[in-house]
């Protein structure tokens, strides 16, 4: 049995030299002899008998398959590529290759699919920990909790066992040290540890072994490394390809075509850093995401801030306005919106503008779902951002204030809604004119506030003005016009003008069924009002 370390060309050559010396292969001590073809020829000879070679940590594709740089010397620098040609091939020998890279695994198996080692199941993780603790008086609940906290990653479990034994602490104490914060977990994954069977020249921390793979990806496909950095700031599950495409389209380099994006994602899949989720989305292992984010912060603060900005921009560009038609997409993107909003980037104007836009779109969706408090919190932040960026009377700022006023209405906070609504309406009249769509929206919102305060005549006056202006500007069947008709019908019903209310609501419901569809929430609201008003 022969063991070959394949993390770099120097280690590969050193392993072959050790084999040659151990087996006393003729010519091994000749300084002019190239040891790689020497060992290959010797192992291929039928009189050598059966043997097994383990090629460990073969992660660098270019190391094994790029153009050979020549040979004729044992110097490792002459073998900077195409080490694959020196792997023996014969019927009496067997090769076992370990790699984090599916691409290299497949190529070394001549196109056959490599044997993939997935996540350990609960039983295997339990057996591993028992073996590392050598039996003993173990708390089974603590073992299970430790296994779950470290997501049953073998290297992480071995590291935890080594730390527990070295520090003479209990498993429960170690779980407590891991804490609830993600950074606590990263810190302990960065601790060095010793255990049997590990290559003495490889990093002794779980985090460091992953960082080796990050750096390998950087060398192999720089765009893939960028995508991994970007994904470290999203929610780790169900990352839509739209976010990655949005980032790619923002880049100025000519590298963001579909093939290049597919190739880059393929590299990340090959290293098992990402896996395919539902609907062509991607999942990132939580611990990989934490370590990659920590790596960015450690390596270059500006890089971390850059990808924080880019992640926010990608989600902000993709997150739709929270209308009924977009609810499914809004719900799917919501975890990622929350994730990117947690991080602070460069503080640039582009970032702040995108942040405010995302806050408002998420808030509007939450408001449609009845989550008023959460919507209000996001809207207040958006108002402050836009006021700082654009000024108090800019249309963007006024839109944010109007949405906040509507949230106050839904919460029954009429006085606050009225005060803010009047401010927005008067400013829009002065800046945009009486018949501008934004001005009309403000008037309609203020009318709703008056209605809920029992000020029906004031509400009716505004609603009639809004409805007639929208009919003239947008047409009788425009959704905004229909909204005005519906609100005016409710006001007339509240005033006791039931015949007028029924006639107007019938017209509104009929148009909504035709324009919006029979199952649209506004259509159903109109039909429900008609049913209610027609009851004896």
Beta-strand runs (E) in 16-106: 51-56, 93-97
Other residues' Cβ atoms within 10 Å of the Cβ of residue 85: 14
Ramachandran area for residue 352 (φ above 0: left; ψ -120 to 50: alpha; else beta): alpha
**In the block, residue with structure tokens 């040290």:** 177
Q: Which of 81, 84, 130, 82 lies closest to 110, judged by CA?
A: 84
452 in Cβ contact with 412 (< 8 Å): yes
Rg (CA), the chain: 33
354 in Cβ contact with 316 (< 8 Å): yes
Measured in degrees and rounded to the nearest 5, phi and psi for residue 283 equal -115, 140
For domain 217-316, give the CATH number. 1.10.10
14 in Cβ contact with 32 (< 8 Å): no
Q: What is the mean pLDDT of residues 370-385?
A: 94
For residue range 37-81, what is the model confidence (pLDDT) as tens digits? 999 999 999 888 899 999 988 888 888 886 443 333 344 445 555
pLDDT in the model for residue 157 = 80
Cβ neighbours of residue 308 under 8 Å, at least 6 residues apart? 233, 340, 343, 344, 345, 346
Q: CA 364, CA 403: separation in Å to the nearest integer?
A: 8
Q: Which of 59, 18, 57 lies closest to 36, judged by CA?
A: 18
Q: Which of 426, 424, 488, 414 lies closest to 454, judged by CA?
A: 414
Q: CA 535, CA 289: separation in Å to the nearest integer?
A: 59
3-state SS, residue 6: coil
Measured in degrees and rounded to the nearest 5, phi and psi for residue 188 equal -75, -30
Q: CA 38, CA 19: separation in Å to the nearest integer?
A: 10
Which tokens hold the place of 503? Answer: 């006639």
Percent of the chain, pLDDT > 90?
44
Other residues' Cβ atoms within 10 Å of the Cβ of residue 50: 9
Q: CA 320, CA 327: separation in Å to the nearest integer?
A: 9
Q: 276 - beta bridge partners?
A: 282
Half-sphere CA count of 97, side-chain side, radius 13 A? 26
Measured in degrees and rounded to the nearest 5, phi and psi for residue 178 equal -60, -35
pLDDT level of residue 193 (50, 70, 90 thresholds) = very low
pLDDT level of residue 492 (50, 70, 90 thresholds) = very high
Q: 239 - beta bridge partners?
A: 282
DSSP H or E stretch at residue 12: helix 9-22
Torsion from C-alpha of 37, 42, 43, 44, nearest 10 degrees: 90
Q: CA 59, CA 105: separation in Å to the nearest integer?
A: 9
Q: What is the mean pLDDT of residues 303-321?
A: 93
Q: CA 335, CA 443: separation in Å to the nearest integer?
A: 34
Q: Which of 5, 74, 92, 62 lies closest to 37, judged by CA?
A: 74
C-alpha separations of 100 from 59, 218, 226 in Å: 6, 15, 19
Q: CA 37, CA 16: separation in Å to the nearest integer?
A: 10
Mean pLDDT of the chain: 84
For residue range 438-477, what is the model confidence (pLDDT) as tens digits? 899 889 988 988 888 899 999 999 999 999 999 999 999 9
Q: Which of 40, 39, 36, 37 lies closest to 76, judged by CA?
A: 36
Q: CA 122, CA 107: separation in Å to the nearest integer?
A: 32
C-alpha separations of 18 from 42, 97, 213, 342, 504 in Å: 14, 18, 26, 52, 92
**In the block, residue with structure tokens 């839904």:** 410
Cβ neighbours of residue 81 under 8 Å, at least 6 residues apart? 62, 63, 64, 65, 66, 67, 68, 69
Tell me how many degrees the CA angle 60-63-66 measures, rounded to the nearest 5: 120
DSSP H or E stretch at residue 2: strand 2-5
Maximum average pLDDT range among 94-108, 115-129, 293-307, 395-409: 395-409
DSSP H or E stretch at residue 123: helix 122-132
Architecture of the domain made up of 369-534? Alpha Horseshoe (1.25)
For residue range 247-276, what is the model confidence (pLDDT) as tens digits? 888 775 544 567 888 889 988 887 778 888
Reply yes or no on whether the pLDDT at 513 is more than 60: yes
pLDDT in the model for residue 88 = 92
Which tokens hold the place of 82? Answer: 């195409």
Reply yes or no on whether the pLDDT at 240 is more than 90: yes
Q: What angle in degrees, to the nearest 10, is found between the helix axes of 414-432 and 395-410?
A: 160
Reply yes or no on whether the pLDDT at 197 is more than 50: no
Q: What is the pTM of this model?
A: 0.66
């Amino acid at each position: 049995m022969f063991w070959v370390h394949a993390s770099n060309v120097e280690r590969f050559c050193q392993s072959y030299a050790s084999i040659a010396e151990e087996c006393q292969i003729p010519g091994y001590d000749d300084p002019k002899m190239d040891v790689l073809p020497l060992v290959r020829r010797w192992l291929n000879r039928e009189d050598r008998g059966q043997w097994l070679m383990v090629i460990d940590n073969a992660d660098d594709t270019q190391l094994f398959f790029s153009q050979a740089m020549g040979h004729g010397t044992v110097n490792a620098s002459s073998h900077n590529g195409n080490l694959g040609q020196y792997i023996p091939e014969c019927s009496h020998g067997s090769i076992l290759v370990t790699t984090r890279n599916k691409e290299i695994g497949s190529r070394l198996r001549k196109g056959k699919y490599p044997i993939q080692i997935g996540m350990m199941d609960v039983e295997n993780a339990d057996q591993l920990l028992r073996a590392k603790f050598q039996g003993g008086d173990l708390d089974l609940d603590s073992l299970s909790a430790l296994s779950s906290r470290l997501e049953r990653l073998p290297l992480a479990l071995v590291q935890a066992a080594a730390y527990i034994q070295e520090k003479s602490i209990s498993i429960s104490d170690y779980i407590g040290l891991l804490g609830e914060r993600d950074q606590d977990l990263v810190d302990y994954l960065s601790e060095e540890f010793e255990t049997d069977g590990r290559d003495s020249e490889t990093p002794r921390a779980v985090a460091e072994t992953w960082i080796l793979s990050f750096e390998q990806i950087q060398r192999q496909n720089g765009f893939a490394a960028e995508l991994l950095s970007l994904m470290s700031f999203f929610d780790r599950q169900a990352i839509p390809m739209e976010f990655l495409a949005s980032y790619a389209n923002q880049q100025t380099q000519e590298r963001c075509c579909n093939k290049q994006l597919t190739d880059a994602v393929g590299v990340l899949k090959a290293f098992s850093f990402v896996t395919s989720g539902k609907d062509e989305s991607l999942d990132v292992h939580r611990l990989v995401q934490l370590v990659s984010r920590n790596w960015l912060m450690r390596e270059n603060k500006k890089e971390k801030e850059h990808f924080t900005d880019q992640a926010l921009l990608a989600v902000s560009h993709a997150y739709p306005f929270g209308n009924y038609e977009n609810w499914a997409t809004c719900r799917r993107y919501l975890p990622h919106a929350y994730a990117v909003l947690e991080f602070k980037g460069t503080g640039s104007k582009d970032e702040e503008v995108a942040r405010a836009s995302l806050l408002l779109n998420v808030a509007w969706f939450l408001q449609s779902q009845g989550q008023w408090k959460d919507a209000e919190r996001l809207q207040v932040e958006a108002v402050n951002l836009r006021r700082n960026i654009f000024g108090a009377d800019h249309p963007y700022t006024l839109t944010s204030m109007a949405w906040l006023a509507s949230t106050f209405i839904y919460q029954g906070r009429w006085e606050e809604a009225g005060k803010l609504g009047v401010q927005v309406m008067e400013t829009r009249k002065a800046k945009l004119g009486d018949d501008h769509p934004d001005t009309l929206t403000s008037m309609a919102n203020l009318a709703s506030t008056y209605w809920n305060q029992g000020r029906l005549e004031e509400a009716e006056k505004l609603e009639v003005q809004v409805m007639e202006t929208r009919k003239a500007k947008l047409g009788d069947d425009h959704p905004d016009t229909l909204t005005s008709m519906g609100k005016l019908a409710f006001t007339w019903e509240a005033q006791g003008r039931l015949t007028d209310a029924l006639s107007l609501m019938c017209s509104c419901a009929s148009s909504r069924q035709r324009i919006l569809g029979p199952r649209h929430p506004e259509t159903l609201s109109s039909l429900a009002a008609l049913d209610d008003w027609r009851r004896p």
